[in-house]
């Protein structure tokens, strides 16, 4: 059994829970109040900064030039293209660049990004891939499933669905899934157990990231 076949037994119930969450279901319907989505956009900007650090670790740890080059391209694309697009997208929701830059990470954002960067810094290349995969996989599944329901009237939410259901992001997701399959095929039973737990933790954080936005989570003290 391939890694993605096995890991789907962990991920599928979590993707379903995400799709059933009111934050996501209302986004798909176009009825979501913009306040929690503006919160999500700001927290996602903070997340992307740390996500880029994971790509940097991936480039450094990659076992061959081809994979090194792909991670280097992802790092460059995230910092120099995706974050510019994120700023422009945020502006459509009335969020300035200054607001993005001064966003304090929520408890969930802090926990998730700390987990990812620590895994990348202290784990193996396989550990990094297992922790990285749920973000791409979960967003791709969510975007595609929402797209199947029809494009919402809210243009900002429709653009979000278009992005994560689109061909470019789907190709990126498939690349990461294939990479996980390759690493899995060369791994020991103990390593596979570790990959499962890392994947599970990241997938759980994916759900919590949506839930934190819905609740507009703040530090209690």
Write the secondary structure of 59-113 as one string of H (helix), E (strand) and C (coil).
HHHCCCHHHHHHHHHHHHHHHHHHHHHHHHHHHHCCCCHHHHHCCCCCHHHHHHH
SS3 (DSSP) at 21? coil
Phi-psi region of 150 (alpha: psi -120 to 50; beta: other; left: phi over 0): left
Helix or strand run (H / E) with residue 33: none
Instruction: Return the residue matching tokens 């740890």.
Output: 61
Cα separation, 119 vs 131, whole angstroms: 7
> Which residue of the set 16, 155, 206, 218 is catalytic?
206
DSSP letter for 152, please: -
Q: Are the C-beta atoms of residues 106 and 217 closer than 8 Å to each other? A: yes
Which two three-digit tokens encode residue 84?
């510019």
> Which residue of the set 6, 135, 168, 218 is catalytic?
135
159 classed as catalytic: no
135 classed as catalytic: yes
C-alpha distances (whole Å) from 210 to each of 23, 162, 221 are: 7, 18, 22
- The residues annotated with a catalytic role in the active site are 135, 206
């Amino acid at each position: 059994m391939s890694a993605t076949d096995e890991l789907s037994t962990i991920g599928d119930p979590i993707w379903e829970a995400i799709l059933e969450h009111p934050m996501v279901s209302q986004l798909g319907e176009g009825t979501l109040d913009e306040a929690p989505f503006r919160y999500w956009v700001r927290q996602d900007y903070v997340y992307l900064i740390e996500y880029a650090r994971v790509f940097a670790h991936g480039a450094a740890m990659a076992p061959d030039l081809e994979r090194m080059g792909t991670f280097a391209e992802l790092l460059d694309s995230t910092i120099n293209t995706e974050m510019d697009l994120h700023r422009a997208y945020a502006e459509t929701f009335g969020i300035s660049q200054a607001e993005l830059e001064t966003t304090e990470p929520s408890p969930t954002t802090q926990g998730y990004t700390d987990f990812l960067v620590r895994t990348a810094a202290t784990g193996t290349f396989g550990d990094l891939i297992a922790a990285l995969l749920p973000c791409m996989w979960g967003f791709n599944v969510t975007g595609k499933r929402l797209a199947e329901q029809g494009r919402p009237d809210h243009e900002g939410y429709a653009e979000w669905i278009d992005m994560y259901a689109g061909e470019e992001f789907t190709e990126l997701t498939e690349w990461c899934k294939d990479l996980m399959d390759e690493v899995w095929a060369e791994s020991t039973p103990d390593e596979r157990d570790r990959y499962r737990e890392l994947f599970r933790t990241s997938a759980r954080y994916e759900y919590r990231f949506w839930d934190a936005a819905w609740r507009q989570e703040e530090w209690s003290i």
